[in-house]
Structure formats: structure tokens, C-alpha cells
Amino acid sequence: MLRGAARPASPGRGRWPVPTFAGVDHVSLTVTDLERSVRFYAEVLDFVQVIDAGYGRVCMHPRTGFVLGLVRHEGAQGTPFTELATGLDHLGLVAASRDELVAWEERLRGAGVPYTPVRDMPLGHHLAFRDPDGIALELYAPNDVMAAALRELRSREVAPEELLAMARQVLGAPPA
């Protein structure tokens, strides 16, 4: 910021327009064993390794185009993942339906991957499991109410106040 320039009262609500982004480009995960992780993400989730950068691998999902980086940092401590540390809590991936989550349960079972059975929650259905480093992964299928709300949000630009009102309506919760 230029010296002497006045700051807006709150980020994004002042005189300067806020740039936006088009979506998530990729997620990179720190792992302890690159080959084991590439094998897991390929065999269990159908990712394809497209780049070997030595210290890391870039994998892409052929149907969604989602890019996943797997990195082994030199000098990394190799401590087990915990969602209790600052940083990543879990990586959530979207499934088309609850029935698809049930099919994922069968796939995980067949691959010997421990998982928590599909949970039906107020806004959708969740299937939780972990990768070989214990990184928490989730497959989520929105229920009809949440799917409709997401379609509405993705169909047009929504002002922050309208977003809060929509969230209150869908969640039945007080404003944040």
C-alpha cells in the first residue's frame, strides 16, 4: 500500500475493487513416501501421475481435472498427520450422490482402506478415510437442499449480505 493512502474501513468494502479467483487450481500435500502416496492416490482415487519433479509428483484426476501435488520436503520430520495442528484439517472431494458414496465404501473396503461409514448429516452425506500418511480425506455428496443452494450460488454473483441470508435459510443458523 502507498504511504499515506487511506485504508478502506474493511477489506473489500472500501474504495478499491477486490480481485477474485476462478476456483481452486491444486492442492499439494506433504507426504513421507512419494511412491507409496502416488500408488494410493492412483489405485484408490484414480489419479494419474503426470509430472515427476524429483522432490514431488503432480497427479491429475482424468475425469475432473483436479490437480494434486504430493511433496516430500528435504529434511522433513516425517511426523504423522494430525488435524489438531495448524494447517490442513481434511481434504474434501465431491461425490455425485449418496449412492455413489456407498459405491466408494465398497471400493475402499476392497482396497483395504479403513473408513468411517457414510454419515447422513443435515446438509449432505460424508464418507471419511485417510491416506497412508494419515491425511484426513472426505467424500461429500450434498443433499437436495444443499445442492439447490450451491446451484443458485454458482449461477450468479451474490452479495455478501445475500450470501449470509441464504446461509441462514439453508443452515437455520443465526448470522455469523
Cα–Cα dist 39/43, whole Å: 6
| Domain 25-73 of CATH type 3.10.180.10 | yes
Domains 25-73 and 90-142 share a fold: yes
Tell me how far apart the alpha carbons of residues 70 and 58 are, in angstroms, rounded to a whole number: 6
CA distance 72 to 83: 19
Element (H, E) at 49: strand 48-52
Residues in Cβ contact with 163 at an 8 Å cutoff, skipping those fewer than 6 apart:
153
Higher local confidence (pLDDT), 35 or 170: 35
Q: Which sequence spans correspond to the domains of the chain?
A: 25-73, 90-142, 143-176
CB 65 within 8 A of CB 77: no
Q: Which residues have CB under 8 Å from 32's CB, separation 6+?
A: 72, 76, 78, 133
pLDDT band at 176 (very low <50, low <70, confident <90, very high): low
CATH 3.10.180.10 fits 90-142, yes or no: yes
- What's the CA gap between 118 and 149, in Å, rounded? 22
Mean pLDDT of 100-116: 98
Name the average pLDDT for the chain.
Answer: 88
Q: What is the pLDDT of residue 5?
A: 47
